[in-house]
Amino acid sequence: MTNPINSAMMRSMASMGLMNSNEIHEGGQSNWFEAFANAWGKALDTQADVITNQADVVSQGGDKPSDITALTTESMRMSFMANSSHTSLDSVSKALETMARKS
């Protein structure tokens, strides 16, 4: 099992200057929050591709319990990732809002 949002991705964002910069960089992010959201989007897109590939296996006659279980597992992982994405983006945005009010 791999973790699509990992420290290497965060280091990559930091090396592009997205962690503390207001410049617009590759991908159109102008700040680290947009880069953070973009990273979540890419991770969710990747997981959606995994689900699509597994669904193709099932739709082409892969009706073994292990194939169906793999599809269910990947779908549940997508649900977990989507909930985590929402929670983390919501938490960070609320923290930024609080910081903006105190400035």
pLDDT at 99: 87
Q: What is the pLDDT of residue 17?
A: 45
Residue 21 forms part of a structural domain: no
List, in sequence order, the alpha helices (H) in the chain.
7-15, 32-59, 65-102
Percentage of the chain beyond pLDDT 90 is 53
CA dist., res. 80 & res. 101, Å (int) = 32
Banded model confidence at residue 32, pLDDT cuts 50, 70, 90: confident
Average pLDDT rounded to a whole number, residues 70-90: 96
Res. 39 pLDDT band, cuts 50 70 90: very high
Question: Is the residue at 13 inside a domain?
Answer: no
The parent domain of residue 50 ranges over: 33-102
Count of domains observed in the chain? 1
Q: Is residue 2 part of a domain?
A: no
The Cα–Cα gap between 51 and 74 comes to 6
